[in-house]
Amino acid sequence: MPELPEVETIRTQLDPLLRDVSITDAWSFPSAKFSDAPLAVGGRVREVRRRGKYLLFGLDHVSGPLELVVHLGMTGRLAVTEQAPSGPHLRAHWSLEGARHLRFDDVRRFGRVAVVAQGEHAALPTLAALGPEPFDAAFTPEHLRAAVNRSTRAVKTQLLSQRVVAGVGNIYADEALWRAGVHPAARRLTRRQALQLRDAIVDVLGEAIAHKGTTLRDYRDAAGERGTNQFRLDCYGRHGEPCVRCGDPLRRRVIDARTTTWCARCQRR
DNA sequence: CGGGGTTCCTGGCCGC
DNA sequence: TGCGGCCAGGAACCCC
Protein backbone atom coordinates (compact mmCIF):
# COMPACT_ATOMS: atom_id res chain seq x y z
CA MET A 1 0.00 0.00 0.00
CA PRO A 2 2.10 2.85 -1.27
CA GLU A 3 2.01 5.98 0.84
CA LEU A 4 4.24 9.03 0.54
CA PRO A 5 7.57 7.26 1.28
CA GLU A 6 6.92 4.51 -1.26
CA VAL A 7 5.81 6.98 -3.93
CA GLU A 8 8.82 9.18 -3.23
CA THR A 9 11.15 6.18 -3.57
CA ILE A 10 9.66 5.45 -6.99
CA ARG A 11 9.82 9.10 -8.02
CA THR A 12 13.49 9.28 -7.18
CA GLN A 13 14.15 6.26 -9.39
CA LEU A 14 11.96 7.29 -12.33
CA ASP A 15 12.97 10.93 -12.62
CA PRO A 16 16.49 10.36 -14.04
CA LEU A 17 15.23 7.55 -16.29
CA LEU A 18 12.43 9.57 -17.85
CA ARG A 19 13.72 13.13 -18.00
CA ASP A 20 13.65 14.51 -21.58
CA VAL A 21 12.27 11.21 -22.88
CA SER A 22 9.43 11.27 -25.41
CA ILE A 23 6.34 9.05 -25.22
CA THR A 24 5.62 7.51 -28.63
CA ASP A 25 2.75 5.11 -27.98
CA ALA A 26 0.50 3.85 -25.19
CA TRP A 27 -2.01 1.23 -24.21
CA SER A 28 -4.58 1.09 -21.45
CA PHE A 29 -6.69 -1.57 -19.80
CA PRO A 30 -10.38 -1.09 -20.63
CA SER A 31 -11.43 0.80 -17.52
CA ALA A 32 -12.14 4.48 -17.01
CA LYS A 33 -9.51 4.51 -14.30
CA PHE A 34 -6.74 3.98 -16.84
CA SER A 35 -8.23 5.13 -20.14
CA ASP A 36 -6.41 8.47 -20.10
CA ALA A 37 -3.02 6.81 -20.61
CA PRO A 38 -2.87 7.34 -24.43
CA LEU A 39 -3.42 11.08 -24.00
CA ALA A 40 0.22 11.30 -22.95
CA VAL A 41 1.42 10.16 -26.38
CA GLY A 42 3.48 12.86 -28.07
CA GLY A 43 4.53 14.26 -24.74
CA ARG A 44 8.11 14.65 -23.61
CA VAL A 45 8.83 14.20 -19.90
CA ARG A 46 10.22 17.31 -18.30
CA GLU A 47 10.47 15.95 -14.79
CA VAL A 48 8.79 13.52 -12.40
CA ARG A 49 7.32 15.20 -9.35
CA ARG A 50 5.23 14.02 -6.42
CA ARG A 51 2.39 15.53 -4.40
CA GLY A 52 1.22 13.40 -1.51
CA LYS A 53 0.75 9.92 -2.94
CA TYR A 54 0.36 11.19 -6.51
CA LEU A 55 3.11 10.98 -9.11
CA LEU A 56 3.05 13.90 -11.52
CA PHE A 57 4.90 13.52 -14.81
CA GLY A 58 5.30 16.98 -16.30
CA LEU A 59 5.03 16.71 -20.08
CA ASP A 60 5.85 19.14 -22.86
CA HIS A 61 3.30 18.64 -25.61
CA VAL A 62 2.25 20.45 -28.77
CA SER A 63 -1.08 21.19 -27.13
CA GLY A 64 0.66 22.82 -24.17
CA PRO A 65 2.11 21.59 -20.89
CA LEU A 66 0.41 18.40 -19.70
CA GLU A 67 0.58 16.32 -16.56
CA LEU A 68 0.42 12.56 -16.45
CA VAL A 69 -0.97 11.79 -13.01
CA VAL A 70 -0.55 8.32 -11.55
CA HIS A 71 -1.93 7.11 -8.23
CA LEU A 72 -0.77 3.63 -7.26
CA GLY A 73 -3.80 2.79 -5.15
CA MET A 74 -3.22 -0.29 -3.05
CA THR A 75 -1.21 -2.52 -5.34
CA GLY A 76 0.06 -0.36 -8.20
CA ARG A 77 3.60 -0.76 -9.52
CA LEU A 78 5.58 1.27 -12.02
CA ALA A 79 8.72 0.15 -13.84
CA VAL A 80 10.81 1.05 -16.87
CA THR A 81 11.65 -1.98 -18.98
CA GLU A 82 13.29 -2.85 -22.28
CA GLN A 83 10.96 -5.80 -22.87
CA ALA A 84 7.52 -5.19 -24.30
CA PRO A 85 5.14 -5.18 -21.32
CA SER A 86 2.66 -7.99 -20.83
CA GLY A 87 1.00 -9.74 -17.93
CA PRO A 88 -2.36 -10.35 -16.32
CA HIS A 89 -2.30 -7.24 -14.14
CA LEU A 90 -1.02 -4.77 -16.68
CA ARG A 91 -3.24 -1.65 -16.60
CA ALA A 92 -1.31 0.78 -18.80
CA HIS A 93 1.99 1.10 -20.59
CA TRP A 94 3.77 3.78 -22.54
CA SER A 95 6.36 3.27 -25.28
CA LEU A 96 9.38 5.50 -24.87
CA GLU A 97 11.94 6.64 -27.38
CA GLY A 98 15.01 4.42 -27.16
CA ALA A 99 13.03 1.17 -27.25
CA ARG A 100 11.99 1.27 -23.62
CA HIS A 101 8.61 1.13 -21.89
CA LEU A 102 7.00 2.52 -18.79
CA ARG A 103 4.59 -0.05 -17.41
CA PHE A 104 1.89 0.21 -14.76
CA ASP A 105 0.64 -2.98 -13.14
CA ASP A 106 -2.10 -3.01 -10.52
CA VAL A 107 -3.65 -6.24 -9.27
CA ARG A 108 -6.62 -4.71 -7.51
CA ARG A 109 -7.23 -1.79 -9.85
CA PHE A 110 -7.46 0.77 -7.07
CA GLY A 111 -4.90 2.85 -8.94
CA ARG A 112 -5.62 5.65 -11.34
CA VAL A 113 -4.11 7.25 -14.42
CA ALA A 114 -5.11 10.71 -15.59
CA VAL A 115 -3.73 13.13 -18.16
CA VAL A 116 -4.64 16.75 -17.57
CA ALA A 117 -3.47 20.22 -18.52
CA GLN A 118 -0.70 21.04 -16.10
CA GLY A 119 -2.14 21.91 -12.69
CA GLU A 120 -5.73 21.22 -13.73
CA HIS A 121 -6.72 18.84 -10.97
CA ALA A 122 -10.49 19.25 -10.92
CA ALA A 123 -10.95 15.65 -12.07
CA LEU A 124 -8.95 14.50 -9.03
CA PRO A 125 -10.63 16.18 -6.07
CA THR A 126 -8.32 14.75 -3.43
CA LEU A 127 -5.29 16.04 -5.32
CA ALA A 128 -6.97 19.39 -5.84
CA ALA A 129 -7.64 19.78 -2.11
CA LEU A 130 -4.38 18.26 -0.90
CA GLY A 131 -2.87 19.67 2.28
CA PRO A 132 0.74 20.79 2.59
CA GLU A 133 3.62 18.44 1.95
CA PRO A 134 4.84 17.18 5.33
CA PHE A 135 8.38 18.42 4.61
CA ASP A 136 7.17 21.86 3.60
CA ALA A 137 7.53 24.79 5.97
CA ALA A 138 3.76 25.31 5.72
CA PHE A 139 3.19 22.10 7.69
CA THR A 140 3.42 23.72 11.10
CA PRO A 141 2.07 22.53 14.45
CA GLU A 142 -0.29 25.50 14.35
CA HIS A 143 -1.67 24.42 10.98
CA LEU A 144 -2.09 20.85 12.20
CA ARG A 145 -3.81 21.89 15.40
CA ALA A 146 -6.13 24.37 13.72
CA ALA A 147 -7.12 21.90 11.02
CA VAL A 148 -7.80 19.04 13.42
CA ASN A 149 -9.66 21.17 15.94
CA ARG A 150 -11.78 22.82 13.23
CA SER A 151 -13.52 19.49 12.62
CA THR A 152 -15.25 17.09 14.95
CA ARG A 153 -13.74 14.05 13.29
CA ALA A 154 -11.10 11.81 14.83
CA VAL A 155 -7.51 12.91 14.32
CA LYS A 156 -6.71 9.71 12.46
CA THR A 157 -9.59 10.31 10.05
CA GLN A 158 -8.22 13.79 9.46
CA LEU A 159 -4.77 12.50 8.69
CA LEU A 160 -6.15 9.99 6.21
CA SER A 161 -8.24 12.68 4.48
CA GLN A 162 -5.11 14.12 2.80
CA ARG A 163 -6.47 17.63 3.43
CA VAL A 164 -4.57 18.36 6.61
CA VAL A 165 -1.27 16.99 5.39
CA ALA A 166 -0.46 15.16 2.17
CA GLY A 167 0.68 11.58 1.82
CA VAL A 168 -0.18 9.85 5.12
CA GLY A 169 -2.01 6.51 4.87
CA ASN A 170 -2.97 3.87 7.37
CA ILE A 171 0.52 2.60 8.18
CA TYR A 172 2.20 5.93 8.84
CA ALA A 173 -0.86 7.37 10.57
CA ASP A 174 -0.71 4.60 13.18
CA GLU A 175 3.07 4.95 13.47
CA ALA A 176 3.02 8.72 13.88
CA LEU A 177 0.14 8.76 16.38
CA TRP A 178 1.89 6.10 18.44
CA ARG A 179 5.17 7.95 18.39
CA ALA A 180 3.49 11.23 19.34
CA GLY A 181 1.45 9.61 22.11
CA VAL A 182 -1.82 10.82 20.60
CA HIS A 183 -4.96 8.68 20.71
CA PRO A 184 -6.17 7.97 17.17
CA ALA A 185 -9.77 8.84 18.08
CA ALA A 186 -8.84 12.16 19.73
CA ARG A 187 -10.85 15.08 18.39
CA ARG A 188 -8.78 17.90 19.74
CA LEU A 189 -5.07 18.51 19.96
CA THR A 190 -3.26 20.60 22.54
CA ARG A 191 -0.38 22.76 21.31
CA ARG A 192 2.03 20.28 22.78
CA GLN A 193 0.32 17.33 21.08
CA ALA A 194 0.23 19.17 17.76
CA LEU A 195 3.96 19.81 17.97
CA GLN A 196 4.70 16.21 18.83
CA LEU A 197 2.41 14.88 16.12
CA ARG A 198 3.85 17.20 13.48
CA ASP A 199 7.36 16.09 14.39
CA ALA A 200 6.32 12.42 14.48
CA ILE A 201 4.76 12.61 11.01
CA VAL A 202 7.84 14.27 9.56
CA ASP A 203 10.20 11.82 11.26
CA VAL A 204 8.21 8.67 10.48
CA LEU A 205 7.89 9.59 6.80
CA GLY A 206 11.50 10.70 6.52
CA GLU A 207 12.80 7.51 8.08
CA ALA A 208 10.58 5.41 5.82
CA ILE A 209 11.98 7.18 2.75
CA ALA A 210 15.50 6.49 4.02
CA HIS A 211 14.57 2.80 4.16
CA LYS A 212 12.96 2.83 0.71
CA GLY A 213 9.44 2.29 1.99
CA THR A 214 7.43 -0.41 3.71
CA THR A 215 6.80 -3.70 1.90
CA LEU A 216 4.15 -5.70 3.71
CA ARG A 217 3.08 -7.68 0.68
CA ASP A 218 2.66 -5.92 -2.63
CA TYR A 219 4.82 -2.84 -2.65
CA ARG A 220 7.89 -2.86 -4.88
CA ASP A 221 9.93 0.11 -6.02
CA ALA A 222 10.55 0.93 -9.69
CA ALA A 223 13.42 -1.57 -9.73
CA GLY A 224 11.14 -4.32 -8.40
CA GLU A 225 12.84 -4.27 -4.98
CA ARG A 226 11.20 -4.42 -1.58
CA GLY A 227 11.59 -1.67 0.95
CA THR A 228 12.95 -2.44 4.43
CA ASN A 229 10.90 -0.12 6.63
CA GLN A 230 8.53 -2.96 7.56
CA PHE A 231 11.21 -4.14 9.99
CA ARG A 232 11.05 -0.80 11.78
CA LEU A 233 7.32 -0.49 12.43
CA ASP A 234 6.52 -0.03 16.12
CA CYS A 235 2.73 -0.07 15.98
CA TYR A 236 0.98 -0.75 12.67
CA GLY A 237 -0.25 -4.33 12.44
CA ARG A 238 1.18 -5.29 15.84
CA HIS A 239 -2.05 -5.55 17.81
CA GLY A 240 -1.71 -8.06 20.62
CA GLU A 241 2.05 -7.59 20.79
CA PRO A 242 3.58 -5.64 23.69
CA CYS A 243 4.10 -1.94 23.12
CA VAL A 244 7.86 -1.47 22.68
CA ARG A 245 7.66 1.61 24.87
CA CYS A 246 5.58 0.44 27.84
CA GLY A 247 4.96 -3.28 27.39
CA ASP A 248 1.18 -3.13 27.43
CA PRO A 249 -0.41 -5.14 24.64
CA LEU A 250 -1.30 -2.99 21.64
CA ARG A 251 -5.01 -2.76 20.92
CA ARG A 252 -6.97 -2.80 17.72
CA ARG A 253 -10.21 -1.19 16.65
CA VAL A 254 -11.73 0.13 13.46
CA ILE A 255 -11.71 3.89 12.94
CA ASP A 256 -13.09 5.35 9.73
CA ALA A 257 -13.29 1.85 8.25
CA ARG A 258 -9.54 1.37 8.80
CA THR A 259 -7.95 -1.13 11.12
CA THR A 260 -6.22 0.95 13.77
CA THR A 261 -3.59 -0.18 16.24
CA TRP A 262 -2.65 1.86 19.29
CA CYS A 263 -1.36 1.66 22.83
CA ALA A 264 -4.01 2.51 25.40
CA ARG A 265 -1.36 3.46 27.96
CA CYS A 266 0.93 5.59 25.77
CA GLN A 267 -1.86 7.18 23.75
CA ARG A 268 -4.37 8.55 26.23
CA ARG A 269 -7.38 10.50 25.10
C1' DC B 1 -19.23 22.28 1.74
C1' DG B 2 -18.44 19.00 5.48
C1' DG B 3 -19.56 14.54 6.53
C1' DG B 4 -21.42 9.83 6.11
C1' DG B 5 -22.02 5.79 3.41
C1' DT B 6 -20.98 2.99 -0.77
C1' DT B 7 -18.22 1.19 -4.37
C1' DC B 8 -14.44 -0.42 -6.80
C1' DC B 9 -11.14 -4.97 -6.92
C1' DT B 10 -8.55 -9.65 -6.21
C1' DG B 11 -5.19 -12.54 -3.75
C1' DG B 12 -4.32 -14.54 0.55
C1' DC B 13 -5.91 -16.70 4.40
C1' DC B 14 -9.07 -19.11 7.58
C1' DG B 15 -12.37 -22.50 8.94
C1' DC B 16 -14.96 -26.44 7.87
C1' DT C 1 -7.94 -30.95 -0.76
C1' DG C 2 -11.64 -27.79 -2.04
C1' DC C 3 -14.23 -23.96 -1.37
C1' DG C 4 -17.15 -20.24 0.56
C1' DG C 5 -16.47 -16.25 3.12
C1' DC C 6 -13.87 -12.60 4.82
C1' DC C 7 -10.27 -9.13 4.89
C1' DA C 8 -6.98 -5.53 3.23
C1' DG C 9 -8.17 -0.10 2.05
C1' DG C 10 -7.44 5.13 -1.00
C1' DA C 11 -10.15 7.86 -3.28
C1' DA C 12 -14.13 8.80 -6.26
C1' DC C 13 -18.76 9.37 -5.96
C1' DC C 14 -23.45 10.14 -4.36
C1' DC C 15 -26.48 12.19 -1.21
C1' DC C 16 -27.95 15.02 2.71
pTM exceeds 0.85: yes
Q: Bridge partners of A259?
A: A254
Nucleotide nearest A236, CA–C1', reads C8
Q: Is A249 a catalytic residue?
A: no
- Return the amino acid letter for A162: Q
Q: Is A156 a catalytic residue?
A: no
Q: Bridge partners of A112?
A: A71
Give helix A170-180 / helix A191-210 axis angle, nearest 10°: 130
Q: Is A212 a catalytic residue?
A: no
A31 CB contact with strand C at below 7 Å: no
3-state secondary structure at position A256 = coil
CA A213 to CA A92: how far, in whole Å?
A: 23
Alpha helical stretches, state H, chain A? 4-18, 125-128, 141-150, 155-160, 170-180, 191-210
3-state secondary structure at position A184 = coil
pLDDT on residue A257: 86
CA A71 to CA A81: how far, in whole Å?
A: 20
| 8 Å CB contact between A262 and A174 | yes
pLDDT on residue A139: 96
Residues A102-126: pLDDT tens digits? 999 999 999 999 999 999 999 999 9
Q: Distance, angstroms, CA A227 to C1' C15?
A: 41
Q: Distance, angstroms, CA A75 to C1' C10?
A: 11
Q: Which residues, in sequence order, are CB contacts of A134 under 8 Å at separation 6+?
A: A4, A165, A166, A167, A168, A201, A202, A205
Residues A184-199: pLDDT tens digits? 999 999 999 999 999 9
Low-confidence ranges of chain A (pLDDT < 50): none
